[in-house]
Structure formats: structure tokens, C-alpha cells
Amino acid sequence: MDIASDSLDVGGGGASLGQGSPSGHAAPPVARTFLDSLIDAGILIPTGVDGIYGRSRVYEAIAEGMDALITEIGADQQAEMMRFPPTTPRNDFEDSEYLKSFPQLAGIVHSFCGNDHEHFRLVARLERGEDWTDQLRPTRVVLTPAACYPVYPVLARRGPLPPEGRVVDVFSYCFRHEPSIEPTRMQMFRMREYVRLGTPEQILAFRQMWIERGQKLADDLEVPHTLDLANDPFFGRGGKLVADNQRDLKLKFELLIPVNDGAPPTACMSFNYHVDHFSTVWPLRTADGEKAHTGCAAFGIDRLTLALLRNHGLDLSGWPRGVRALLGGI
Amino acid sequence: MDIASDSLDVGGGGASLGQGSPSGHAAPPVARTFLDSLIDAGILIPTGVDGIYGRSRVYEAIAEGMDALITEIGADQQAEMMRFPPTTPRNDFEDSEYLKSFPQLAGIVHSFCGNDHEHFRLVARLERGEDWTDQLRPTRVVLTPAACYPVYPVLARRGPLPPEGRVVDVFSYCFRHEPSIEPTRMQMFRMREYVRLGTPEQILAFRQMWIERGQKLADDLEVPHTLDLANDPFFGRGGKLVADNQRDLKLKFELLIPVNDGAPPTACMSFNYHVDHFSTVWPLRTADGEKAHTGCAAFGIDRLTLALLRNHGLDLSGWPRGVRALLGGI
């Protein structure tokens, strides 16, 4: 679990980017925000929905460079690589208790399952500009909320962990329903994680090691950064207590980098200890038959990409030479 | 548009893979199907939902090699690279007329937008094993149905095309609600496309060139293949007429490779001429102010990966040396 939780939450579907602002069309307006400047430079392509952007070749080169660099940093982990698509089974999602903690962020996929007659009605309503979505039914899949979620039920089916536990390397598009005009708060974004399963000692040592590696990575990327205790954005009034408890137990740390205009720095990496949450939901056991503990080091690929663009500029040729080399010579 | 349409359609949510079949656990069963053998080898990881699989390092190395090879083949296209996330605006999707043609395949994202009280009710229903999904509301996004869909409304906002038209390079996860036990019919899969916008002559020349490049690619990959006229799986009784018309006008060709057990070969590439469909929906215009025509060459990255595994075996060390070299030395 790694719900990167900035303290700042702009928006909630308020201001829209509108349909305009294509790059290279008429004189560029004065860049009012970082988002505007990314759009004016053609690095992000607005779609009319906040938090859903197309991205340019430059953006993708940085993102791919970041991903490859994290692979390199984790090469000694002997991790099992697993790649899941951005949808995951609804029954596992329901079991995970995500809906208890973050119902507001979930995305459940619905489809049309009707016949010819119902289809005729759907199309007619659509053409009249009426709502037609009550003809949809929930499917067996939901959008993946965090890259590590599909891993736990899959590993639980394999039986007990080996004595050394396991490390799994995951990467996924993730969805969170939180439309925002902060470019770092996309509705769909890429998350890379190393997930650790084992004893409490194994998880805590893993997390500490990755906190140090994360800080060194941010140093190497030459971006200002701080590490801070954090909590996930648990929903509602009851959520406040859960969040306080998470802080008291020091379960979540975030590496923060300044990205957005006049806003606190953004969580670009997080280092999480889930205690036995996932082995309470699924029968994940250590070699000794104990409930396995889990943790993860999560890297927000899109947030790191934006952090680099913010701190080194939109023109790669002006970036520090060492940073470009680190990212594969972009 | 590039709804790869095999004539065969196994399943429809029938037989499930169940929760079992992890690899390397007890003696492997006799492989009954290609899917079984992929799971037994740990190349695909079942999740309990047909058409949603985790994938191993080997699978991803092949898929990435395919993607890079297609980049190389299209390097002369001077294409503008655009990368969109796997969700796209619902209003564009509604405008696109996809729901007229393929309502059964669409995926609309729903979220919970309630308050504390409604959340309490949701969790209580979930815990009692009751349906809770009527508390969800449709969001402004849908799952991307084909990689090229987000491109047209974005380009329409840029004004008329240049005289030479445009080529856009896209890659996306796509969703189609068609649960199946055929491994080539995933619910979420990756599609790479070159999209051409311009005059009818430009589109037809582009399509012919990519048909030839596609055939050469399949030759180079040393897989058996045939090219065939095809149609998309238009919904319902009325859909039959539309499909016949699409065939009569020779709008869609597919490159087919044998993959599945005892089944006709699978469409792994498609070469499409959309005529003026997208410029009827969005104001895409040529430099002369005419309605732009569009077409695309689409590569099913997951289907091509499976085609290679089927035809060359699950052990890369037994593959033809030239094929491994082509895919970046995997």
C-alpha cells in the first residue's frame, strides 16, 4: 500500500483545463503555473479532463530513464518481476479493505451487457443527450489502486514464503479518482515498487535500506528533498483516527520534492510498512507458519518526472550533465 | 479504429481459470492448452479473472523487444509520439460513436462520491456480502478502447493539418470487456499504432506500405502468417450489415498468425482505413479545408508476444538466433 498523500489537495474536479491551450498555436500566454508551462511546451497534452494528459517524447524519455534507473538501483534485490495490467479482480479488491480506507479514490469498471433492444435504447438516449449509464453493470474488474495490490493474493496461493522471504518488483498504471489541476495529481499514473514479504525484522531492514537508497537517488538527481513521516488520506471522520495511528506507529515515510507552485513539496517516493494487513486478508505465511509482514518502497514515476522538469527546466539541454547520463543519456 | 476481430470467440465469461495453477508447485499437470502451458511455465500468472494475467520477466522482455522493433521499423515516419494513459475522457468516447458499434466491449469507470454516512452503509453491505455497487456513480473517464482514440479530438483542436498530413505514434493499454480463456483475448492488452491523417490518397498509400512492412516483420520473426480482409465485431443484428459493408469497401486487413489450440489464426496486426469517420465526429481538416481521412497500422503487442511463444517455444534459448537478435538480444 502506498497512497502517496500530499498534505495539499487542490481541486476535486473544480477548475478544468478546458479544451484549449494546444502548443505552438498563436503566441504562448504568460505561463501562470507549472502545468501551463508544461502544456505550452507540448510536454503534457490536455484532454479536457483534469489529471488525464497525453505526454510527449521528452516526458516519456525521462519517465523511462527513471524506471530503468530504479531497476539498476534494485538489481541486487533478486526480485521476482511481475507485471500486471492496470485492472485487477474486483473480488480481491473488495477483500483488500481498500474500500474501507479510500472509497473516494476507487475506480470500478462497468460495462453494457444488454441485448439488441437495450442497445437501441442506449444509443437513442445518448443521441438525445440523456444519461444512459444506468444501463451499465459492474464487471469483475477494478482499476489497480497501487502497483503492489495484485501481488498479495497471487503469492498467497503459492504457499508459505521461503525462509528469506520474498522481494517482488512491480510496475503499473494506477488509478485514483481525484481530478486536480496539480500536474502531480494525475488520475492515472505510473508507480514502480519493490515489495517485501517476510518477518517484521526483514521488512523494517528493507524499508530502512530503501529510505537510504531513495535519498541517495534524489541526491544523484540533484533535486532538493526532505524525508518526512506521513499518513495515507483515509476517508471521512473515522479516517482521522486511522491516520493518526499510522503516524504514531511510524508506518509511512515519504520523500518530498518541491514541484508545484506555492505548494508544499510533493511525495515522489514512499516507504511503507503494512504490518500484517495483507496477511490478515490473504493467507500469506512465513516459512515458520507465522503471518507474513509486508512493506514496500514505491516510486511515483510521473511525479519524479515532473520533479525533474520542475527543478532542472523544460529544456533537457540545460539539465546537469550527470543527471542526463544517469537517466540513460537522455 | 482497430478492433482486431478474430472469427473465433471462445468464452464470454464462461469457464474460469480458478484460483489455482501456480507454477512450480507439485508436479505440473499435462499441458492441455497453450494457456495452461504458459501458466505452468510461470510466463502468465492467473488472477482468477479470465483475460487478466500477471506476466513474467521473459514475457515482458519479448513485449518490450517487439515495441522497440516497431519503433525501428517506423523510424522514417517522422511520427509525433504521444502517450496517453489507459483512461480517456468519457465525453470524447461518447462522441466517437464507439457505443453504437461496440457497446459490449466498453469499460466505463465508476467511483464512490458519497459522504461518511453513505460510506458506512457501503462498508456494511460489503461485509454482509451484499451488492454495494449501486452506490457508485459514473466518472468523466472510460477505459481506452484502442490506442488511437485519444488522438483525434486532441489533433482536431490544433486546427487544419499541414499539407503533408500527420503521422502519430501511439501506444496504450486498451480495455475490452470480453472475458475469454483464449490467452490472445485479454481484457487489458497493449496496442502500438501508427496513425495517419490526411487525404484519402495519403491514407491508402500509408496503409499499403504498412501492410508490406507488417508482412516483412512477420517473415523476419519467422512465424507463419496470412493477410486477410476482415471486419470489426459490430454489435447486434444491425452490426452484421455494417460489418458486410466494411468488408465490401475493403477497409480492414489483418495479419493472422496461428496461436491458439485448434482455432483459426489470430489477428496480430491490423491495417485500417476509417474513411472520414473521425473527421465527421471531430473537425479534423486537411490543409485545403476538406474533411481529413484517417487510417492506422496497429500492432497487438501482447498477441505478437504470444505468437512468438507459441511458434518458437516457451524457452527463449531454443528460439532462432535471428529472432532473438531482432528483439534486442533477448
Choosing among B100, B119, B149, which should be mutated to test the A contact, i.e. which has the most A CBs within 10 A? B119
Start-to-end C-alpha separation, chain B: 31
Nearest CA in chain B to A23: B158
Task: For B227-250, give one letter per residue: b (16+ CB within 10 A) or e.
Answer: beebbbbbbbeebeebbeebeeee
With a cut of 90, say whether residue B100 has pLDDT above it.
yes
Q: Does A125 touch chain B (CB under 8 A)?
A: no
A77 shares its domain with A135: no
CB contact under 8 A, A106 and B88: no
C-alpha dihedral, B289 to B295 to B297 to B302, nearest 10°: 120
Query: How many whole angstroms separate alpha carbon A38 and alpha carbon A306?
Result: 9
With a cut of 70, say whether residue B254 has pLDDT above it.
yes
Give A181 to chain B, closest Cα distance, Å. 15
A96 shares its domain with A245: yes
What are the helix and strand counts (H, E) for chain A? 11, 12
A264 shares its domain with A158: yes
Judged on CB neighbours under 10 Å (0-12, 13-18, 19+), A143 is buried
CB A280 within 8 A of CB A291: yes
The reply to whether A7 falls in a domain is: no
A189 shares its domain with A179: yes
CB contact under 8 A, B140 and A60: no
Angle in degrees, CA A99, A101, A103, rounded to 5? 45
DSSP A208-272: HHHHHHHHHHHHHTT---EEEE------HHHHHHHHHHHHHTT-EEEEEE--STTSPPEEEEEEE
The reply to whether B286 falls in a domain is: yes
User: How high is the ipTM of this complex?
Assistant: 0.91
Choose the final residue of a domain: B94, B127, B143.
B143
With a cut of 80, say whether residue B290 has pLDDT above it.
yes
How many of the other CB atoms lie within 10 Å of CB of B199?
Answer: 18
pLDDT at site A30: 47
A287 shares its domain with A215: yes
CB contact under 8 A, B177 and A111: yes
The label of the residue with cell 522514417 reads B76
With a cut of 90, say whether residue B28 has pLDDT above it.
no
Task: Sort out which chain B residues have CB atoms less than 8 A from A107's CB and list them.
Answer: 109-111, 139
Task: Sort out which chain B residues have CB atoms less than 8 A from A56's CB and list them.
Answer: 81-82
B136 shares its domain with B259: no
Query: How many whole angstroms separate alpha carbon B231 and alpha carbon A258?
Result: 51
- The continuous run of DSSP H or E covering A139 comes out as strand A136-143
| DSSP E strand boundaries for B165-225 | 166-175, 188-198
Give B85 to chain A, closest Cα distance, Å. 6
Judged on CB neighbours under 10 Å (0-12, 13-18, 19+), A51 is buried
A239 shares its domain with A291: yes
Q: State how beta strands A293-300 and A188-198 pair.
A: antiparallel
Query: How many whole angstroms separate alpha carbon B60 and alpha carbon A146?
Result: 20
The label of the residue with cell 479493505 reads A97
pLDDT at site A1: 46
What type of residue sits at position A103? P
The reply to whether A157 falls in a domain is: yes
CB contact under 8 A, A52 and B20: no
CB contact under 8 A, A154 and B54: yes
Residue B251, phi then psi, degrees to nearest 5: -85, -20
Task: Sort out which chain B residues have CB atoms less than 8 A from A100's CB and list them.
Answer: 123
B234 shares its domain with B138: no
User: Which cell numbers hold the place of B6?
Assistant: 478474430
Residue B315, phi then psi, degrees to nearest 5: -105, 110
Q: Does A163 touch chain B (CB under 8 A)?
A: no
CB contact under 8 A, A107 and B109: yes
User: Which cell numbers hold the place of A275?
Assistant: 504490518
Query: How many whole angstroms separate alpha carbon B180 and alpha carbon B10?
Result: 6
Task: Give the B window 74-93 contacts with A, CB below 8 Å.
Answer: 81-89, 91-92
CB contact under 8 A, A25 and B158: yes
Chunked mean pLDDT (size 10), chain A, 330 residues? 40 34 43 89 98 98 98 98 98 98 98 98 97 98 98 98 98 97 97 98 98 98 98 95 97 98 96 98 98 98 98 98 97
Nearest CA in chain A to B13: A140
Query: How many whole angstroms separate alpha carbon A42 and alpha carbon A24?
Result: 8
CB contact under 8 A, B177 and A88: no
Task: Sort out which chain B residues have CB atoms less than 8 A from A174's CB and list them.
Answer: none
Q: Does B219 touch chain A (CB under 8 A)?
A: no
CB contact under 8 A, A111 and B106: yes
Give every CB contact of residue B163 below 8 A, 6+ residues apart in sequence: B286, B287
pLDDT at site B5: 43
Task: Sort out which chain A residues have CB atoms less than 8 A from B62's CB and list them.
Answer: none
Q: Does A300 touch chain B (CB under 8 A)?
A: no
pLDDT at site A10: 30
How many of the other CB atoms lie within 10 Å of CB of B197?
Answer: 27
Percent of all residues in chain B with a pLDDT value above 90, rounded to a whole number: 90
The reply to whether B15 falls in a domain is: no
Task: Sort out which chain B residues have CB atoms less than 8 A from A75's CB and list them.
Answer: none
B249 shares its domain with B117: no
Query: How many whole angstroms separate alpha carbon B89 and alpha carbon B229?
Result: 32
Domain region containing A121: 109-143
Helix extents (H) in B128-199: 151-156
Query: How many whole angstroms separate alpha carbon B225 and alpha carbon B215?
Result: 8
Q: Does B119 touch chain A (CB under 8 A)?
A: yes
Task: Give the B window 238-257 contacts with A, CB below 8 Å.
Answer: 238
Facing B140 at nearest CB: one of A49, A57, A237: A49
B126 shares its domain with B259: no
Nearest CA in chain A to B85: A188
Query: How many whole angstroms separate alpha carbon A203 and alpha carbon A156?
Result: 17
The reply to whether B38 falls in a domain is: no
Facing A173 at nearest CB: one of B49, B173, B179: B173
Long-range pairs, B200-205, Cβ under 8 A, ≥24: B200/B275, B200/B293, B202/B164, B202/B165, B202/B293, B203/B273, B203/B293, B203/B294, B203/B295, B204/B273, B204/B295
With a cut of 80, say whether residue B17 has pLDDT above it.
no
pTM: 0.92
CATH number at residue A65: 3.30.930.10
What type of residue sits at position A16? S
CB contact under 8 A, A54 and B138: no
Give every CB contact of residue B3 below 8 A, 6+ residues apart in sequence: B102, B105, B145, B146, B176, B232, B233
- Residue A142's DSSP bridge partners are A88, A108
How many folded domains does chain A comprise? 2
The reply to whether B237 falls in a domain is: yes
Query: How many whole angstroms separate alpha carbon A269 and alpha carbon B34?
Result: 39
What are the helix and strand counts (H, E) for chain B? 11, 12
What type of residue sits at position B302? D
DSSP A140-197: EEEE-SSTTTTHHHHHHTT-SPPTT-EEEEEEEEEE-----SSTTS-SEEEEEEEEEE
The reply to whether B37 falls in a domain is: no
Q: Does B12 touch chain A (CB under 8 A)?
A: no
Note the pLDDT tens digit of each residue in B121-179: 999 999 999 999 999 999 999 999 999 999 999 999 999 999 999 999 999 999 999 99
Facing B52 at nearest CB: one of A103, A126, A141: A141
Query: How many whole angstroms separate alpha carbon A234 and alpha carbon A245?
Result: 11
Facing B49 at nearest CB: one of A53, A59, A140: A140
A138 shares its domain with A216: no
DSSP B211-245: HHHHHHHHHHTT---EEEE------HHHHHHHHHH
CB contact under 8 A, B122 and A106: no
Choosing among A23, A40, A87, A234, which should be mutated to test the B contact, i.e. which has the most B CBs within 10 A? A87
pLDDT at site B32: 75
A101 shares its domain with A126: no
Cross-sheet strand order for the sheet of A108-112: A87-89, A136-143, A108-112, B108-112, B136-143, B87-89
pLDDT at site B328: 97
The reply to whether B68 falls in a domain is: yes
Judged on CB neighbours under 10 Å (0-12, 13-18, 19+), A279 is buried
DSSP B25-49: SSSPPP--SHHHHHHHTTSEEE-SS
Choosing among B23, B157, B168, which should be mutated to test the A contact, i.e. which has the most A CBs within 10 A? B157
CB contact under 8 A, B104 and A122: no
Facing A45 at nearest CB: one of B53, B82, B187: B82
What type of residue sits at position B163? P
Handedness of CA A109, A110, A113, A119 (dihedral sign): negative
C-alpha dihedral, B91 to B95 to B96 to B99, nearest 10°: 90
Specify the DSSP class assigned to residue A321: H
The average confidence (pLDDT) of chain B is 92
How many of the other CB atoms lie within 10 Å of CB of A63?
Answer: 21
Which whole-number Å values give the CA distances from A100 to A2, A137, A233, B125, B293, in the listed order?
Answer: 15, 22, 12, 11, 49
Query: How many whole angstroms separate alpha carbon A61 and alpha carbon A123?
Result: 41
CB B88 within 8 A of CB B144: yes
In the structure, what pLDDT confidence band is assigned to residue B117 with cuts at 50, 70 and 90? very high
Ramachandran area for residue A98 (φ above 0: left; ψ -120 to 50: alpha; else beta): alpha
